[in-house]
Structure 1
Amino acid sequence: MTSADELPIRRLTLADLSACLDLSDDRSWGREEHKWRLLLSAGQGYGIDAPPDDPVGGLLAAVVRTSYGGQWHAIGMMLVASRRERQGIGLRLMRHMIAEAEGAPLLLTATGNGRPLYERLGFKALGGITTLTGAFGGAPDAGTGLRPATAADMPEILAYDRPVFGADRTELLTRLASFADRILVARAPDGRLTGFGATWPNVTTTSVGPVLADDPSIGRALIGRLATDTATPARLDVGDEHPELLAWARTHGLAPVGRTTLMVLGAPEAPGDPTRRFAPYSMAHG
């Protein structure tokens, strides 16, 4: 059997979408085609092909890096085929990603299975994230100044996002119009932007995120409006820095279904202001 060190790493493109979905299926992650398309078009995917002596073929491993202005990088969708796990393939691919970052900090969300690998590479845990799903019930918090976003709002959304997220997400946020089902903005009586949020379709859920806002009440208003009457059960990822949001989501019908860990390499903490970030774009995007 070909060893991990002998397997070449190559760039992935949209032509590899089916192979990435097959790999996700192999690890029971689901065929998240909508998200994979965004990741492979807005980020840089890397993969390892099965060697000729592998009876199954396809991709043995894949990972995607999303770069934010070269200041930060998010690592997502780190997958190794179940038949080749614990053979050093994931370690080799992650070392390649660290080298490609050229010293810029890296951010990722780790499952329980993946966390030991990242700790071995020097990543530090920053806190947990609870994933909730379900049908949002009850009236959402009353929110004034919420309305659908338009193209004219995008310059302000980009300006608002940069200090809150802590890096330039222009490449990703300008794709929201084609990626998201809904985009809402919140504005104060004087017209100032006080938050924004979006939803996007996944395989069996409607993901709520990103959501950024000036304070928890605006964040809840955005989430409540976005999570109401979704075509599929709503999904919300809540960081440990927002226990009140977690409790609120549970009282409105969303139930916890999993826990992951936010981890960082090359910096003492995540960028930006986590107190104003109420939901990520996706776990894979940091």
Structure 2
Amino acid sequence: MTRSDLPACTALAVGRGWPPEEAKWAFLLRVGRGFGLFDGDRLVGTTIATRFGDSHTAVSMVLVAESHGGRGLGRRVVEHALADAGTPEASLYATSFGKPLYEKLGFRSVERVAGHFGVLDVPPSGVSRPVVDRAGLVARDAAVFGADRSAMWAELFGFAERVVVSEGGFAAGWRNDGRLVVGPVVADSVEAAKALVADVADGGPARVDVTDPELAAWLSAHGMPARFEVDRMVRGPQGGDRRQLFAPVMQALG
């Protein structure tokens, strides 16, 4: 798929009860490879595979039109995307509905992730500053994530509303349907992660996806309760040091 398919992608999403997320779809189609299933001229299924170097592929935006459900089309498009990427590791985030399909494809659940929404009632910490050493940030991201994501970052520096660094790590925030999504958050401690989130969220409607229980409790206690949980699933070896990854860029990018 290309950017010309964007209206059909957002229409398909809305038809399945998802938000349109036009900016997010456009970004993913730039940094990843989109695959569509068509019935004539109508888009009836999608997935996006974002490849990081030669080692890791993030699978996202797996959708099938309600009129075409129950035919194995979701499995078909995901299998095609994984075969095309050909990396030893792949990851995705799955709801309880999608999890059985991904288990059949060899994915295993490695952690639960909670989406926290609201307005953070904590003042900015003031510990962060705009990023200057972009190459250093990208190198640290690769070490933490376990794959080279420099191509994604080349786009994200322009797409994100803010990217900041501190002595303890770095964080970004990008706009999605009127809400600021805080991610990624990479830090050497949970306290450093809290300080970065406070600076990036900056008192407006925000979302943070987290696995760390202390960070989750802090968000819940300060105006950002968890609204849903999903499984992060991995196929193949799992690299990096994800103990420092307190929030992903977005679930679509692992």
Q: Same fold per TM (> 0.5)? A: yes
Give the corresponding residue for 2:218: 248
Q: Secondary structure of the equivalent of 2:91?
A: strand
In structure 2, how many angstroms separate the alpha carbons of the residues matched to 1:31 and 1:217?
Answer: 34
Give the corresponding residue for 1:235: 207
| Superposition pairs of residues 88-107 of structure 1, within 5 angstroms | 88-107=72-91
- Residue 22 of structure 1 pairs with residue 11 of structure 2: yes
Q: Secondary structure of the equivalent of 1:206?
A: strand
- Residue 161 of structure 1 pairs with residue 141 of structure 2: yes
Give the corresponding residue for 2:251: 283
Give the corresponding residue for 1:76: 60
Give the corresponding residue for 2:92: 108
Aligned length: 254
Letter of the 2:184 partner, please give it: P
CA contact (8 A) 2:144 2:242 kept: yes
Q: Cα offset for 1:101?
A: 2.8
| Superposition pairs of residues 5-20 of structure 1, within 5 angstroms | 12-20=1-9
Alignment TM-score, normalising by the size of structure 1: 0.85
**Counterpart among 101, 121, 125 of residue 105 in structure 2:** 121
Alignment TM-score, normalising by the size of structure 2: 0.96
CA contact (8 A) 1:137 1:228 kept: no
Q: Secondary structure of the equivalent of 1:175?
A: helix
**Counterpart among 170, 186, 193 of residue 219 in structure 1:** 193
CA contact (8 A) 1:103 1:266 kept: no
In structure 2, how many angstroms separate the alpha carbons of the residues matched to 1:98 and 1:44?
Answer: 11
CA contact (8 A) 2:49 2:82 kept: no
In structure 2, how many angstroms separate the alpha carbons of the residues matched to 1:167 and 1:103?
Answer: 11
- Structure 2 segments unaligned to the other structure (5+ residues): none
In structure 2, how many angstroms separate the alpha carbons of the residues matched to 1:47 and 1:185?
Answer: 37
Structure 1 residues 211 and 13: alpha-carbon distance in aligned structure 2, compared to 1, 3 A threshold = same
Alignment identity in percent?
Answer: 38
Q: Which runs of 4+ in 1 moved over 2 A?
A: none
Give the corresponding residue for 2:163: 183
Q: Cα offset for 1:95?
A: 1.5
**Which is greater in Rg?**
1
Q: Cα offset for 1:256?
A: 1.1
